[in-house]
Amino acid sequence: MNEVSILGAIIIGILAGWIAEQVMGRKHGLLTNLVVGIVGAFLGAFVAGALGIEFAGFWGSLLVSAVGAILLLAILGMFRRRPTV
């Protein structure tokens, strides 16, 4: 999120968390979506940087953040204890 203000980062975080929630079929609240989106933004930026992918502006930041948030939920889902039947 190179060129985005703090308010823009919060909006992108909430949207990215919501997108990840919808893609992964989870149910979270606004605060959890924000946290997942912001942590996902760092994860997505790290992965994009490692792959040499450049992004800029609102839409680029939203895309990278959403992908990072989806990755974060997928990773957390691997460690989540599933009930045995």
pLDDT of the residue at 23? 92
Rounded to an integer, what distance in angstroms lies between the CA atom of residue 18 and that of residue 32?
9
**Residue 71: what pLDDT?**
92
Report mean pLDDT in 10-residue bins for the chain, 85 residues: 69 89 86 88 89 86 91 87 65
Cα gap 69→43, rounded to integer Å: 8
SS3 36: helix
Alpha carbons 85 and 69: distance in angstroms, whole number: 29
Domain ranges in the chain are 6-79
pTM of this structure: 0.81
Q: How many angstroms separate the Cα of 25 from the Cα of each of 17, 18, 38, 73?
A: 12, 10, 19, 10
How much is the pLDDT for 70?
92
- pLDDT number for residue 85: 61
pLDDT at 83 (0 to 100): 65
